Chains A and B, each alone.
Chain A
Amino acid sequence: MSAIANTIFSPEMAARFDKLETIYPLKRSALVPMLLYAQDEIGYVSEAAIQEIAQRLDLFDLDVRNVLSYYSMLRTKPAGKYNVQVCTNISCMLRGGYEILDHCKATLGIGHKQVTKDGQFSLEEVECIGACCWAPAMQVNYDFHDDLTTVKVDAILADYAAGRGKDVK
């Protein structure tokens, strides 16, 4: 039973949030994780999510929005079901990161921070994701794909399109 009446989240997520509210010396510490988990469930941080999180943490909506706008992974509009994030920072760039990004743009027919018409994929050029020694690399949602070639990218995108891709939550 969630502490919040009419929670917008699933019972599992609501229970997780109930717990997050209690573990820190200061309740507000749960804010950044809550925003990310809310996004994982809804696909983005919605108005309703902002309001519920503010209520849970005894904050103003504005406090939540202020933090939300700082973190690059958080978004207020839906992304694709599979968000393809291609790293083009130095280690990836030197091993073909931009070719991988261009290939994804051409294959998916979308640009940076755009979503395909069917809502299946979105694309982002991202900064270093910590896979420098296995470059070029990208993440699809939270899953890492390393040592990429355009051929490998085709297979990875085809797997996701067919619902066979890895998808750690």
Chain B
Amino acid sequence: MPTYVSHPDEAIVLKRRFGQGAADIDKYVELDGYKAVQQAIAEGPEWIINTMKASGLRGRGGAGFPTGMKWSFVPKNSEKPKYVLVNGDESEPGTCKDHVIFLEDPHAVIEGTMIAGLAIGSKLGFIYLRGEYRYLLKIVEKAVADAYAKGYLGKNIFGKEGVDFDIITQTGAGAYEVGEESALMESLEGKRGVPRIKPPFPAVVGLYGGPTVINNAETIASAPHILLMGGEAYAKLGSERNGGTRLFGISGHVERPGVYELPMGYSLRKAIYEVAGGVKGGKKLKAVVPGGSSCPVLTADEIDVGLDFDQMGKAGTMLGSGGIVVLDETVSIVEFALRVISFYQHESCGWCIPCREGTDWIKKTLARVYAGGGSKKDIDNVQYLADNMMGRTFCPLGDAAAMPTLGFVKKFRKEFEDYIDGHKAETPIMTEQELVGAGH
């Protein structure tokens, strides 16, 4: 079970009900639960979308697309049914924030799903959890059943004639790729989780061919809080064009790893040195992977940057999923880069050739370097391969593999060169044979 952490710099919105037993529906109601959705029913779709737009909330899955705008793209009239899809297939390495939301505040996800449904005129929502999160699925299933029992879900919800909303919970069965929105829809349709070409975007042609809003679980869970506190008040908590707060999971070499709720734009340096208590054991900081393993690495000199989508973009990286992974001076970047690409090679669904072949060849090349058989040309080759993956695949997995790889070889080129020149790590973590065989 997660261990809970807190820090005075936290701005508490999403975590408001954490640790108070809010998975219980009565407790949730006591803590202002299901008030926002009733207000949403009374005020109507335009009010919901305007409030969400005013909040400046941007997608917490990693892409950072403005949520209110996404909801407004769904056509008002549609021959096909519209759907709300909650992405709880959390699997970006370094990310465990949705884990705690499902555990501590599952009704916020349910209420947020209903709010999204009301905003776009949908009567059916799906909450998709990764297969590994079975104990969380049981918590969410119970919460959904309790909401039905109270008349909050089903026909004529909250006694309002003609207002219907149903929720189906769904489990995956192990696939990083399914976290990508179109692959998730394929999976939910009972198929292999391969991505779809865009356009058309899900807002027009999504699940079962109907207009679909698909949001990350944290985005959805933010909606009820935003409606309760008002869009402007939420926006004010964050930085320019980056409204509110988000859950940052700080892990790796820090004294106090954990999931902290910080205002958007909060200093990365302070997040590491104050909130998470600094580098573990008083060691020196070497690098930071700022938003899940697909984000280009920042060196120790590059951490004076605000944690929002725009500032991180300017710094040449991404805010991503908010999973901050801290590396101390003892970490071999060669080994770390190999571990990251091994993951993407394993998870590439194989649909697009640049990603399937690119991840495989980068992994093989880095494995050779790591095993002590590399040449300096290998570094150029890795860069060439990664450059040629960028933007050439249906879904962002190819980019997600290429971007961190480029970050490692560009920013730590000297370390790769020194390594190749004979500075080998202590013991290989995997033999080359095992690496080449892995994932096949």
Contact = CB atoms under 8 A, between A and B. Distances in A.
Interface in B138-152: 138
Contacts of A133: 2-3, 5, 96, 249-251, 257-259
B422 to A, nearest CB: 24
Given A71-B172, A73-B131, A130 B91 contact: yes
Interface in A70-98: 70-74, 88-91, 93-95, 98
A64 to B, nearest CB: 9
A33 B129 CA distance: 11
A15 interface: no
A123 B337 CA distance: 25
A127 B252 contact: no
Contacts of B190: 26, 28-32, 57, 67
Contacts, number: 159
Given A31-B190, A127-B93, A90 B131 contact: no
Given A32-B172, A73-B174, A91-B325, A132 B189 contact: no
Contacts of B188: 29, 32
A14 interface: no
Interface in A24-49: 24-26, 28-33, 35-36
Interface string B347-372: 10100000000000000000000000
| Most chain A beta-carbon contacts within 10 A, residue among B93, B94, B124 | B93
A168 B173 contact: no
B251 A135 contact: yes
A90 B342 CA distance: 11
B361 to A, nearest CB: 20
A128 B92 CA distance: 7
B187 interface: yes
A94 to B, nearest CB: 4
Interface stretch (A4-12, A114-122, A142-150, A154-162): A142-150
Contacts of A24: 168
A36 B171 CA distance: 8
Interface string A128-139: 111111110001
B193 A70 contact: yes
B171 A93 contact: no
A67 B349 CA distance: 12
B236 interface: no
A42 to B, nearest CB: 15
A23 interface: yes
B219 interface: no
A127 B347 contact: yes
A135 B92 CA distance: 15
Interface string B143-172: 000000000000000000000000010111
B132 A73 contact: yes
Contacts of B327: 94
A95 B326 CA distance: 11
B323 A132 contact: yes
Contacts of B168: 23-24
A146 B258 CA distance: 12
A30 B187 CA distance: 10
Contacts of B192: 66-67, 70
A76 to B, nearest CB: 13
Interface string B229-259: 0000000000000000000011111000111
Contacts of B1: 144, 146
A139 B131 contact: no
Contacts of B2: 131, 133-134, 146
A73 B173 contact: yes
A127 B191 CA distance: 22
18 contacts: A23-B168, A26-B190, A29-B189, A36-B171, A67-B191, A70-B349, A71-B131, A72-B175, A89-B93, A98-B429, A127-B91, A133-B5, A133-B251, A133-B257, A134-B3, A142-B135, A143-B135, A144-B135
Interface of A: 23-26, 28-33, 35-36, 57, 66-67, 70-74, 88-91, 93-95, 98, 127-135, 139, 142-144, 146-147, 168-169
Given A28-B190, A90-B343, A130-B133, 20 more contacts: A23-B168, A25-B81, A29-B189, A32-B187, A70-B175, A74-B174, A89-B343, A90-B325, A90-B340, A91-B251, A94-B252, A128-B93, A128-B343, A130-B96, A132-B251, A132-B323, A133-B96, A134-B3, A135-B251, A146-B2
